[in-house]
Amino acid sequence: MLTLEAAVEIIVVETKVAAVIEVGGISSVVQYSGFDIIGDIHGCALSLEALLKRLGYRSDSRGAGGKAFEDKVYYHPSRQAVFTGDIIDRGARIREALHLVKNMVDTGSAHCVMGNHEYNALAYTTETLDSAQYELPQYVREHNLQYQQQISSTLRQFEGHEQQWLLFLKWMYSLPAFLELDGFRVVHACWDEALIERFKTDKRVIDRQWIQETADQNSFAAHFMNRLTRGTGIQLPDGRHIDSSDGRKRRFFRTKFWSSNPQILQDVVYQPDPLPEDLAVTSLSQKQKQSLLHYDETAVPVFFGHYWLSGQPSVQSTNVACLDYSAVKNGRLAAYRFDGECKLDANKIVWVDASIEYGSGL
């Protein structure tokens, strides 16, 4: 039986991923034949369990009472899950979702990359380098109304479980900003080859010092984290803004990092809130075109979340797939079943209706 106490070692042999799991002095090797990449969860723990079961994952413990989620470890006999980040904030079962994901990562049955919400949680709770100079603690992420609202649901659900929250924050520091696995890539929002290569060349790691460096918005650390966990964007012209569905006035709009030969703003916009009609048909300036990224059509498939999609899950191109289908907004929690193919197939996306979180649906 797979347990949290199992000693786990992740190894790579001839580009095939295996997990060596020791239980009761007996070691066993799981050779993974495929991967299931799962989109943004945002506290939708019931939907996550339903999706894992639909994908054929089993739990080694039913748990009891308040420890149901703390004790559960989901695993698959021949597949490994990969989470695109944003486990926390917004939803009603954030603590439970964190337990499910962390347990899987800790026992080797899953990977998880850092989302912008995990990054924000670290920045919100990490003091700045010069904090000691002030009477009150200063944090990398300012404790203003915007960021307080963003993390409020998470902090509220950890009231009475403060030590668990500290352990989860420590775990979040271990999450990579990107993954390059067996024939595919995973990132939360945007694959930027140049920034990733510099990160690897400089042999940087995400630790407390790294998060502290992001307080300077002109630093490489801030640019790297913002790009990979939030993506690219273009500022609206003439001081204009969009009244977004979440009640905020946005002066930038999110853009694709895989557009090929875009000519107008509509060719690159990638967000739930549409551009005003007159702006949508506005030609991209040369400067705007130069600021955009283009994920090469010949590159290995890349999977990500972040963008609040809706409707029938699909792929964005033959090697690009967004798996965030707004589960916490009564949408769908989706996963792509990857088996080494070079061209992605929308028929390999599996999902569950997240209305289960609200007392209906599956």
Task: Give the pLDDT confidence of 31-51 residue by residue, as tens digits.
Answer: 889 999 999 999 999 999 999
Instruction: Evaluate the CA torsion angle 12, 221, 248, 263 in order and state its sign.
Output: negative
| Mean pLDDT of all residues in 342-348 | 98
| Mean pLDDT of all residues in 170-190 | 97
Q: Rounded CA gap, 330 and 356, in Å?
A: 9
Asked whether the beta carbons of 332 and 352 are under 8 A apart, the reply is yes
Q: 289: Cβ–Cβ under 8 A, 6 or more apart, which residues?
A: 262
Q: Count structural domains, the chain.
A: 1
Q: What's the pTM value of the predicted model, to 2 decimals?
A: 0.90
Mean pLDDT rounded to a whole number for the chain: 89
Q: Rounded CA gap, 87 and 102, in Å?
A: 10
Q: Rounded CA gap, 190 and 293, in Å?
A: 9
Residue 350, domain extent: 7-358
Q: In this structure, is residue 97 part of a structural domain?
A: yes
Task: Give the pLDDT confidence of 55-107 residue by residue, as tens digits.
Answer: 999 998 644 444 578 889 999 999 999 999 999 999 999 999 999 999 999 99
Task: Give the pLDDT confidence of 222-254 residue by residue, as tens digits.
Answer: 999 999 999 999 999 888 888 877 777 888 999
Element (DSSP H or E) covering residue 185: strand 185-187
Our CA dihedral for 112, 117, 120, 122, rounded to 10 degrees, sits at: -40
Q: In this structure, is residue 121 part of a structural domain?
A: yes
Strands 332-338 and 34-38, by their bridges, are antiparallel
Q: Rounded CA gap, 101 and 204, in Å?
A: 25
Q: In this structure, is residue 2 part of a structural domain?
A: no
Q: Rounded CA gap, 147 and 155, in Å?
A: 12
* Per-residue pLDDT, 30: 73
Statement: residue 362 has pLDDT above 50: no
Q: Where are the alpha helices (DSSP H) in the chain?
A: 45-54, 68-71, 94-106, 116-125, 145-157, 162-172, 193-201, 208-213, 220-230, 277-280, 286-291
| CATH number of the domain bearing residue 24 | 3.60.21.10
* Per-residue pLDDT, 358: 77
Q: In this structure, is residue 280 part of a structural domain?
A: yes
Q: In this structure, is residue 1 part of a structural domain?
A: no
Q: Is 236 exposed, middle or buried (0-12, 13-18, 19+ CB in 10 A)?
A: middle
Q: Rounded CA gap, 111 and 12, in Å?
A: 14
Identity of the amino acid at 19: A
* Per-residue pLDDT, 246: 73
